[in-house]
Structure 1
Amino acid sequence: MPLTRRRFLTGAAATATALPLAAAGCGFAPAGSKAAANPDTLTFTTWGTDAELAGFRAAIAGFEKANSGAKVNLNAVPYEQMFTDIDAQLQTGNPPDVFRVPYYTFGAYAGRGQLLDLSSQLPSGFGDRFTPAAWAAVQNSGKPYGVPHHTDTSAILYNTALMKGAGITDIPTKAEDAWTWDEFTAVARKLRSSLPATKFPFGYNWQGNGVTRWLNLLFQADGRFLDEQLSGPAINSDAGRAAVEFSKDFFTQKFVPPNSSVKATTYVADSWYAQTTAMVFSGAFAIPDATENLKFEWGATYAPRKVRGGGDFGGNALVVTAKAKNPKLATAFLDFVTQADPMRTFCAGASLLPTRRDLSADGIEFKIRPELSPVFVGQSRVVRATDSAQVASPSMSGIITVLKDQLDKAFVGGQSTAATISGLSSGIAQALQK
């Protein structure tokens, strides 16, 4: 079977010592239950693949063992209802103590004052354990309102036979050797010439809220969509125009399926699983299902570069709600799950990338297809803090809508580059004012 929609949408036992605090197994209780009323009990709401949930259960068991009397009730919900539930609980004043949130959604919750400012809760130097890009992704007005639990970023998965059929055998094995935009275009043209009209060189994973992955191209051109103060648009630039032109060519040159624009209702991974695209931009989270379900030989390589390498800072943070009943216990839980052993166990099992400096520097070995780990770890290293900080903007939900509207007009509506840049710039400015 192909990759399940749930797994594609998500993205997403230890010996470490927790912060000192005051035992029993991993329970399942919704926020507001009698169990949650215990001051030594936390409620934690998340979605996740089977591997991710197994990782959370192992971390919870380790935390409870390290903190006698503490208990964490895990409430696992489908991704599709996750934030409807969270928003409703926040509005009624009965939210979970801790929940999981994508980085591109984090800013909206922090900006509305719904999350706990962790500045006075975390130990001195806590942020030093994370990469600069990761720590920047959980800041709001210069203060941390969460912890970066893991990340993921888009590299390229490729069909070995289709690549060889086009005479493409020199595939980059180092991030610094990634194809340039011109080289990637040359590869796409070779594939276009060798493939029948019903098949395409690649698919880009920018459908739905994945439209933020278009920003990878902007970053590769060394551009920004927000200014350095994160208070105004900055996309009206040579880099912005280059990114729009480059991505419009995907459609005009028939490099991507015509129905794979940013507003498509199906995800481009489906075309790669069906072998109608030779390559697909994808996160590492797809590796377990791909390994289990695909019957053809495939590999992974780095996303292209222009002025520099660039990628999306995907993945999720863990946050404490402002009305958490026991902020100290909740903060201790965040400390525990982001220590080296719990993070390594979680990321290796779920094919996700660590946010800790030490684990990122040393690398991590996925339990499934470990030989692909260096590709995704190397791709994550090109993400800059200046990139991830923009995506954590409190206005990101509105900016996502602007990106969808303007890029879809450019890709399938024939809108000019100049009009697209103008629409993006004015739309971002309006989103920032709301």
Structure 2
Amino acid sequence: MELNRRTFLLGAGAASLPLLLAGCGFAPPAADSTAATGTLTFTTWGTDAELAGFKAAIDRFQKANSGATVNLNAVPYGQMFTNIDAQLQAGNPPDVFRVPYYTFGSYAGRGQLLDLSTQLEQGFSDNFTPQAWAAVQNSGKPYGVPHHTDTSVILYNKDALTAAGITNIPTTLDTAWSWDEFEQVMKTLRGSLPAEKYPFAYNWQGNGVTRWLSWLFESNGRFLSEDLLTPAIDSPAGTAAVDFTKNFFTAGYVPQNNSVKSTTLAADTWYAQTSAMTSGGAFLIPDATSTLDFEWGATFSPRNERSAGDFGGNALVATAATTQPELATKFLAFMTEQEEMSQFCASASLLPTRADLIQSGIDFAVRPELSPIFVGQASSVQAQDSSQVASPNMSKIITVLQNQLEEAFVGGQSTADTLANMTSGIAAATAPA
């Protein structure tokens, strides 16, 4: 199955949510190690590389468990959750499915996922980084496994930056451009590029609007208070984030069609050499390497009060209605074993969630020299930021962000009104039904 790049970028690469809860150190009772048998259905979307990785892993799982069968159902991303929701409502969902971290909370919060707290082996949580393990928690219990992550860095056209005299490209997270330095880079490029080309494009289209929150987090801001219900975005940090990103449009640093609700993706703008830089995830690497006819590199996202990032990627979950809970749990655990995760992430250009793989490093099959940049950027994700995105109300909050940022960027709405409208919208989204 071939996945359309445009559809995939709009949805699957969106920002997500490590969530540091009491369950982060979760170590449930040891599960029965007796091999489970039976048949599972596994529904997912994926790029060609991801689907190949899933098929290979399923083959290895079935060989290791001769009595088990996993039927893979690959669907287009655009149909994925419409189908899942309809099947859940009808009472015939798949046993296992793939879900973005930012959507995980809504399924777990509705009781639609299998509680793994009595299924997983003792110490299973120790395999993962705290941020990754917390991303699959709900009320202190795990309802999935963190399969992989991704985060956005700056991809740049080397010739465009060199022509503008920009040769000092940050090579470590600690030396990433500050906001002021990044604005100077964009200003320099604006003066060097023809009017029909732009310095930058940001990947906040579609559900990727959650990536805008990185600017808020870089200013030590929040959009929800610690109770994860009360709006907190109307703050000096919120003002700084809205003002800074609005200036992308007023100063001509990004094209007008780089807005949140645009159907033109940031990556497409960069691919067409309409922009010199773009924000993008590691999953873009294979496509960019095979299709681009210009030299390009990657560097870290800018920092303000501190560095921050989006925790993208996906979890694997079992549905509460599965008739094969032991087999489903065994499959989830297998998919996150060290060798399985290493192979999947390396071939698909994604980031691991296991602590041992983060420590040892991982080399992408394509452009392996870029791996440390993405892994380093992912390390800037903090639970105090991303725990907010774990709200079961996040889908409603995403709509608030989309509407208000669109008005701020291209509708002429003031920063004060934008923050006030975000505050009232978030309050409505988190209010009890």
Please give the range of the TM-score, normalised by the shorter of the 2 chains.
Answer: over 0.9
| Residue pair 1:156, 1:281 contacting (<8 A) in 2 also | yes
The Cα of 1:134 is off from its aligned counterpart by 1.0
Partners of 1:275 and 1:423 in 2: CA distance: 35
1:20 corresponding residue in structure 2: 33
CA deviations on 1:168-215 (whole Å, 9 max, x unpaired) are 000001111110101100100000010111000000000111100000
Amino acid at match of 1:294: L
Query: Which of 10, 13, 22 in structure 2 is aligned with 1:11?
Result: 13
Give 3-state SS (helix, strand or coil) of 1:200's partner: coil
Does the aligned pair in 2 maintain the 1:134–1:388 contact within 8 Å? Answer: no
Say which SS state the counterpart of residue 156 (structure 2) adopts: strand
Partner of 2:270: 272
* Displacement after TM superposition at 1:348 (Å): 0.1
Q: Which amino acid aligns with 2:13?
A: G
Counterpart for residue 19 of structure 2: none
- Which of residues 293, 297, 301 in structure 1 aligns to 2:299? 301
Aligned-partner Cα distance in 2 for 1:178–1:362: 23
Question: Deviation digits for residues 61-101 of structure 1, max 9, x if unmatched?
Answer: 22112222011111011111001110110010000000000
Residue equivalent to 2:94: 96
Alignment of 1:23-422 (within 5 A): 40-422=38-420
Residue 124 of structure 1 and its aligned partner are, at CA, apart by 2.3
Q: In 2, are the aligned partners of 1:134 and 1:385 still within 8 Å (CA)?
A: no
**Per-residue deviation, 1:263:** 0.8
Q: Is the 8 A contact 2:37 2:65 kept in 1?
A: no
Aligned residues of 2:136 and 2:145 also touching (Cα < 8 A):
yes
Whole-Å separation in 2 of the counterparts to 1:277 and 1:266: 12
Q: Which amino acid in 1 is paired with 2:42?
A: F
**1:298: Cα distance to partner?**
0.3
Shift of 1:232: 1.7
Q: Secondary structure at the match of 2:200?
A: strand
RMSD: 1.5
Deviation at 1:19, TM superposition (A): 7.7
Q: Provide Cα deviations, 1:291-330, integer angstroms capped at 9, x if missing partner.
A: 0000000000000011111111100011110101111111
- Structure 1 residue 357: Cα displacement: 0.8
* Counterpart amino acid of residue 339 in structure 2: D
Q: Which letter maps to 1:344? A: S
Structure 1, residues 343-399: CA drift from partner, whole Å, max 9, x if none? 000000000000111111221100001111111011111111222222121101000
Aligned counterparts of 1:138 and 1:429: Cα–Cα separation in 2: 24
Give the alignment's TM-score, normalised by structure 1: 0.92
TM-superposition CA deviations, 1:41-74 (whole Å, max 9, x none): 1110000011101111121122112222011111
Q: CA deviation at 1:339?
A: 1.1
- Give the stretch that moved more between structures: 154-163 or 126-135: 126-135
Partner Cα separation in structure 1 for residue 51 and residue 32 of structure 2: 23
Q: CA deviation at 1:228?
A: 1.5
CA distance in 1, matches of 2:7, 2:262: 17
Relative to the length of structure 2, the TM-score reads: 0.93
CA shift at 1:39, angstroms?
6.4
1:32 paired residue number = none
Indicate the residue corresponding to 2:17 in structure 1: none
Using the TM superposition, give the Cα deviation of residue 242 of structure 1 relative to its aligned residue in structure 2, in angstroms: 0.8
Aligned mates of 1:281, 1:47 — CA distance in 2: 23
2: CA distance, partners of 1:189 / 1:334: 48
**Structure 2 CA distance for aligned equivalents of residues 39 and 124 of structure 1:** 22
Give 2:347's aligned amino acid. G
Partner SS state of residue 151, structure 1: strand
Structure 1 residue 104 displacement after superposition: 0.9
Counterpart residue type for residue 229 of structure 1: D
Structure 2: stretches of 5+ with no match in the other structure: 15-30
1:412 to partner: Cα distance: 0.8
The 5-angstrom pairing of residues 417-428 of structure 1 reads 417-428=415-426
In structure 2, how many angstroms separate the alpha carbons of the residues matched to 1:287 and 1:367?
A: 10
Q: Is the 8 A contact 1:205 1:281 kept in 2?
A: yes
Aligned residues: 412
CA distance in 1, matches of 2:34, 2:53: 23
State the distance in 1 between where 2:221 and 2:191 align: 32
Q: Is the 8 A contact 1:6 1:49 kept in 2?
A: no
Which whole-Å CA distance do the structure 2 matches of 1:361 and 1:228 have between them?
30
- Partner-residue secondary structure (3-state), 2:93: coil
